[in-house]
Structure formats: structure tokens, C-alpha cells
Structure 1
Amino acid sequence: MTRTDAPDAPRTGVWAEVVGQPDAVRTLYAAVRAAHRQVRGEPVPPGSMTHAWLFTGPPGSGRSIAARAFAAALECTDAESPGCGHCQACRTVLHGTHADVRVVVPEGLSISVAEMRTLVQAAARRPTTGQWRIVLIEDSDRLTEGAANALLKAVEEPPPRTVFLLCAPSDHPEDVSVTIRSRCRVVQLRTPLTSAIAEVLRERDGVEPELAQWAASVSGGHIGRARRLATDEEARERRETVLRIPLGLQRFADVFTAAAGLVKLAETEAAAANEERNEAEKEELRTAMGAGGTGKGTAAATRGANAALKELEKRQKSRATRSQRDALDLALVDLAGFYRDVLVTHAGADVPLNHPDFAGPIAKAAAQWTSESALRRLNAVLDCRVALTQNVKPIIAVEAMLAALQS
């Protein structure tokens, strides 16, 4: 299907969740319509629908949201407007309860080969209630080498009614192996415009226009971040704390105070994000294992419950580590944006600042530092982000970075 023959990008139903990506939505919608015709046994143009897709784009561009919308539209029972958002298939896919759609969200820092083999076995089965069996892997760049090899075998010889949806920051070999990428159709997402993010915050989340515009302007095009800033006062306070660091490093002793504070912020944010879920999982496990029961056999059941609880706590600890790293990385992105804004101010470039509400401190920093000094500080932040991906202990990586920022 040529671009001129492609249907217009819909903006209703599940597609309304895909913010600021009209080209991607147009491509996906055309593929969905072809898939529905294929299920009905009608002829479709070659290549209009394929069994493996790779969604790429910068953080916050909505990779997983686009993939979920695509999955919902594939299972949608409304043949005239697939992706209606109202039918049971659309609702269950979006809520993660559809029997034929398996969503893999890494709990820890990687996706293991054992988990992927189990997933591949499940993907080989025929759909039970839907039209397709769909496997959606968020953060597929976290696949271990063994897991990637296990997935490759399934992608090379896919069952006829199975679709694989992978999400990754880019299609670079460091994120997705060349062999897997070569078997996928790539959907590249872009950073959403500030106006598109602000519109969503106003219309869908009911955020006041002024707050919505501010949150969109300082989010760096990250939709989820914009929503948190617009709806969570503590998130706004954490951001301000981070952005006060560059001009707050007056003495070397400030390095250790700021490092401890930054790591603590990440730990607090991770704990807040996981606390309710952790307790719910533990309570559900206790109930399933017969907690509080009496009578014959309860001792053995209790031992089994304790073992299962320890395994759950192990998974939760791994998830907490990942959440902490992600929260810390988000803070580093804010810091990098500050130094980028200093460089922009030095150059006198007519481009928007990442942190327009910190224009005063940014101008002050630009007056104090040379462009070379600001660039060196920016590189220190980027080096810290790399160190964290290599499993350097957070406090050590952050202290090394802040020492470079203070000097």
C-alpha cells in the first residue's frame, strides 16, 4: 500500500493513546486492516502485515503504548473500525488480561533465557479466544544473549497466527541484535511535540491548561514524565532538588551530601512506585497458599508458602533495583538537560530550553562557566549514565560524577 493509498491515521479508540505519532499510527492502522482481511481469507498486498515488529524511539515517545494499541486493534472485533477501544477485546488487551496477548515487562535488569523459552513455547499455541496470539516484549534491549537467541528461533519460524511486538530505544545492535532486527518491520517513533503532550494532559487527564503547558515544556518530550509532573507535587519537588545541584556544589564536601541525597531520592521514588504492588502480591500469594488455615496438612502448606514468599521477595528486590536505576537515570537526564541549556545559552542559539523555568540559574551558570567547562560537566553526567548500565554501584557512580561537576 502506497502512502497515497494509506488510510488516514485515526485519532479515536485505542489510537488516541498514541500521542504525536501520526505517521506510525497510519502505518499500523493499514497493517491492522490488512490483518483483518487476512483472517477473513481475503487477499492482501504482500508485506502489508508481518509477524514481527520492532517499535523504536526515544524515552517517553510511547513505544509500549503504540505496541499495546496495535495489539488491541489486531484483536478488535470491530472489523469496520479496528481499535475501537470499546469492545471486550480492546479493553482486555489494554488492561493486560486478554488470553491471547502476553506482555513481558522486565522485572529486573534483564530478561533471562528461561523466561524467554517459556514465552516462546506459549507463543507456539493457536489463539484461544482472539484472532492472533500476540507476544509484546517491552524493553527488549534487556534481553540476555541467550534470551535473544531463543527469541530469534521463534521469529525465524513463527506460527501462522502469532505476532511478535518488540520495543527498544533504537534498532542499534547494542539494543537489538542485527539478526532479530532484520526479521522485523521497524516502526520509528519520534519525540512528541510539546503542544501534543499538553493537549493530552488537558483533555484526557483534566490538568489545568497552564500546568499542562508547563509540564509538557519541561518533560523533554516524555509523555509519562509530563503526566507525573502535572499530577504529582512530590515529583515536581524531586525535579527541583535535582536541578539545584549544579549551582549548589560550592565545596567538595557538597559532593557527598548531594550524592547521598540524589541516590536517596531515587530509592524513595522506587519504593513509592512499588510499595502498594509489593504488598498486594504478597497478600495474593498468602491467600493462594492457604495462609491462616488450620487442620491437617497446614504445616506443609506453610513451608511451601514461606518458600514461595522468599522467591517473590527476591523478584520484588530485583524489580526495586531496576526501578531505582530508572529513577536515578531520569534524574541524570534532567541534569544533562541543565548543562545542555547552559551550552545553548553560551551559543546564543534560538532554540527552546529543556528547563525554561530554570532560565535564571542557567544564565548564571553560563556566566560562570566556559563552554568547554559546561561540555565537560555534561560528559560527566553521560558517563555516569553509562556506568549505571554497567552495574556500577549507584552511590559510587554518582559521587564520581558530582566530583567532576564540582571541580
Structure 2
Amino acid sequence: MTQAPAPIGVWTHLVGQEPAVETLSRAATAAAHIVEGKPVSPGAMTHAWLLTGPPGSGRSVAARIFAAALQCSTGTGCGACPGCHTVLAGTHADVKLVVPEGLSISVAEMRALVQAAARRPTSGHWQIVIIEDADRLTEGASNALLKAVEEPPERTVFLLCAPSDHPEDVSVTIRSRCRLISLRTPKPPAIAQVLIDRDGIDPERAQWAASVCGGHVGRARRLATDEAARQRRATVLRIPTGLRRASDVFTCADQLISAAEADAGEESKSRDEDERSELRTAMGGDGTGKGVGGAKRAAEAAVKQLEKRQKSRATRTQRDTLDLALVDLAGFYRDVLVTSSRSGATLTHPDHASDIASAAAAWHPESTLRRLEAVLTCREAIGLNVKPRIAVEAMVTTLRQG
């Protein structure tokens, strides 16, 4: 069997996704032929794509790389031309990126985006719209997008990213009009090699981070470079074996919530202040002299609207961080079941094998399964907007009782 050639150019940024790279690179080549007026085979290139995969698989990375290849002057995603550089840097005039800062994407935002996408490209080959977390589209936003996907402009491409192609994530009507690209969880050796080659991380640290990140490239990089992230993970993984007294329920719940709040605060603090300062400057709110009163009032009103969006973004960041901690917890109980069943499957947390083995010896499999179900129920409850603290305290109670 002939081995596929190694990715080159922009495609090297997509880790462990050889089948997706092959499909997308072929489509980019077909798109270049369309631009040049050359014939292409039916279905080689389409106007709407849905990129799905588990967290960390690189859905948004794949979308940006594909967009770069579509705008590439060579049609290959060379990584060296201005088209590739500007798309990857997020400054290309014909590539619009939608990253929901709150818990959803509104219909007003989508209508404005669809209207802008209908224009002809100004400097690139295509007008490209990338929608990260397309599962956050409201019903109205989905309907607005559907009209554009059903009757797309000639040179417009929509790239949607979502955790899965399940109807609950992306509506069936939109999904049926998109070409599906399913990404897989990258293997630890591929992740480790990227950390070593691209980030200059020590091989031993890179291999450890790759083995415990759950296939999430971004998290592997953070664990390898951020001591605070390593400490937060260690705190979470002490919970299963640290619930000895009734009071531990509230202590552990508080640790989970506090860690998520701290993480969200660190991520948002400097960014929020920079945004407020830039907005005041742009609107003349920091000016002095005669006639600036009106500008100051308008600037303060705009800042209040910005702070409202920032608060929504912080809430989303906190929930995403908490969800990551819950995924780590679920992985621990999954590892206990793997160990007790002697299945030989690879552990999610190999660096905690001793604690996992002790828990497997002490807990009955049914008790472990109840604990795992409690973690998954907590994730679902938070997704349904149950107060995080209430959901976490209920979960930790079950974790202690078994």
C-alpha cells in the first residue's frame, strides 16, 4: 500500500489528520482550477463544509488552513505567499472569522455576516466565512445562515466547525447542505513531535504532556509550558481519592469552581482592559479640551456595551475551563474501570496509575460507574445552564458516596 506523502506548507499545522489533509488539499487544488477557469470533476470542490471532531482535534485550525490554501497564490497552501500568511495571521480581507464570545451566536450577527459574505472577493480568490462553534448558533441565526448556504454567491465558501454532525449540534437542514470532514483525535507521538519541533519543548516534557492531554494539542502545549495549568490538573485528579469526610464535598467543589474562575480571570483580565482602552481611544473618550463631552458620553456608553460582552465571554470561558476539569475527572473513573476490567486499554492519566490502581482495588465497578455517570450528568447540567456550583456540589456528593 502506497503511503500518502507528508504534509507540506500550511498543512503541517494540522496534526495527525492525514485523511482530512488529503481531502482538503484536493479540494483546494480544484478550487484553484475553478478560479483559472479550468474544468474540475463534479464534487471536487463545494461551497459549504462542516468540520467535526472531538475537542482538541483541530477543527478551527483545519478551517483556517483550508481557507489559507483557498487564498494561496499557488493553490496548494504553500505557506509562503501573502495569501497564506494573511489568512493564518487573521488579517485577510476576504476571510471572516466568527468566534462566539458568549454562549451563542445571535441572529443579528449572522445576518450581518451573510450580507458581507455576499460581496465579491476584494483581494483573494474567494470570500470565506469560518464559523467556530457552529453548535452555538441560535435558531434564528441558523435560519439566516441556511438561506445563504442554500443559494450561495458564486465565490463564497462557508466553513462550519462543530463537535459533531449530530442534529442537536448543527441543524439537519444545514448539515445536509455541507460536505462533512471528520477529524480524529491525534495520537500522542504526533502531538509530542509537534511540541518538540514547533515549540522547542524538552522531549521528556513533550511526551508526558502528549500522553495526558486527551488528544488535545492546545492543552498539551499549555500543560508543557504552564506550571499553573499543571497544578490545576493535579488538584482535580486528587479529588476522587480525597473525598473522605462530608466536609470534603464542599471543599472539593469550591476548588473546582475557584480553579475555573481563576483560569477565566487570567485569560480575560489583560484582554478586557486592552479592549476598553482601545475603544475609548477610538471614540475620543480619552480626549481633552473643548467639545469632548459628547464624545466621552458616547465612549462610556460603548464601553458599557463592551463590558457586557466581556462578561458573557468570561462566563463562557469559565464554563469551558470547568468542563475541561470534568473531562479530566471522567477520564480518571474511566481509567479505574479499565484497570479493574484488565482490558489493557491505554490509560487517560498514565501518570496517576498508582492512584487509579488503588481505587480499582477499593471500589466495586458498579460504584465506579455511578461516579462516572455523576460527572457526565454534571457536564450535561451545566450545558443546560444549571448554576455551576449547584451542579458540581451534587456531583461531588455522589463521588463521595459511590
The normalised TM-score by structure 2 is: 0.98
1:11 maps to: 7
Q: Structure 1: state its 5+ residue gaps.
A: none
Structure 2: how far apart are the matches of 1:242 and 1:402?
Answer: 12
Q: Report matched runs for 1:7-406 at 5 Å.
A: 8=4, 10-79=6-75, 82-406=76-400
Q: Which amino acid aligns with 2:223?
A: L
Equivalent AA in structure 2 for residue 56 of structure 1: T
2:45 alignment partner, SS class: coil
| Structure 2: segments with no counterpart, 5+ residues | none
* Worse overlay, 47-56 or 362-371: 362-371
SS at match of 2:274: helix
Amino acid at match of 1:205: D
Using the TM superposition, give the Cα deviation of residue 10 of structure 1 relative to its aligned residue in structure 2, in angstroms. Answer: 5.0
Q: Is the 8 A contact 2:68 2:87 kept in 1?
A: yes
Distance 2:291 2:5 in 1: 60
SS in 1 for 2:160: strand
Q: Report the secondary structure of 1:163's partner residue.
A: strand
Distance 1:14 1:281 in 2: 30
Q: Deviations over 1:43-78 (max 9, x none)?
A: 000000000000001111001001100000000112
In structure 2, relative to structure 1, the CA distance for the partners of 1:394 and 1:9 (3 Å cut) is farther
Structure 1 CA distance for aligned equivalents of residues 300 and 343 of structure 2 = 61
Identify if the C-alpha distance between structure 1 residues 126 and 8 changes in structure 2 by more than 3 Å, giving closer, same or farther.
Answer: farther
Quick check: 1:10–1:25 contact (8 Å CA) kept in 2?
no
Amino acid at match of 1:177: S
Rounded to whole Å, the distance in 2 between the matches of 1:9 and 1:262 is: 45
Counterparts of 2:55 and 2:150 in 1: how far apart (Å)? 28
Q: For 1:204, what is the secondary structure of its paired residue?
A: helix
Cα displacement string for residues 69-90 of structure 1 (whole angstroms, at most 9, x for unaligned residues)? 00000001124xx211121111
User: What is the distance in 1 between the residues matched to 2:65 and 2:301?
Assistant: 38
Q: Deviations over 1:250-283 (max 9, x none)?
A: 1111111111111010010011112221111111
Kindly provide the CA deviation profile for residues 165-208 of structure 1, in whole angstroms up to 9, marking residues without a partner as x.
Answer: 00001100011111101000000000101110010011001111
Q: Deviations over 1:69-116 (max 9, x none)?
A: 00000001124xx21112111111111111000000000011011111
> 3-state DSSP class of the match of 1:141?
helix
Counterpart-to-counterpart distance in 2, 1:55 and 1:234: 32
How high is the TM-score relative to the length of structure 1?
Answer: 0.97
**Does the C-alpha gap of structure 1 residues 34 and 171 become closer, same or farther in structure 2, counting only changes over 3 Å?**
same
Q: Which secondary structure does the structure 2 equivalent of 1:401 belong to?
A: helix
What percentage of aligned pairs have identical amino acids? 69
* Shift, 1:297, TM fit: 2.0
Aligned length: 401
Q: Partners in 2 of 1:243 and 1:87 — Cα distance?
A: 46
Q: AA paired with 1:345?
A: T
Give RMSD over aligned pairs.
Answer: 1.3
Distance 1:10-1:67 versus aligned 2 partners, 3 A rule: farther
Determine the C-alpha separation between the residues in 2 that align with 1:263 and 1:115. 31
Structure 1 CA distance for aligned equivalents of residues 112 and 6 of structure 2: 36
CA displacement at 1:9 relative to structure 2: 5.3
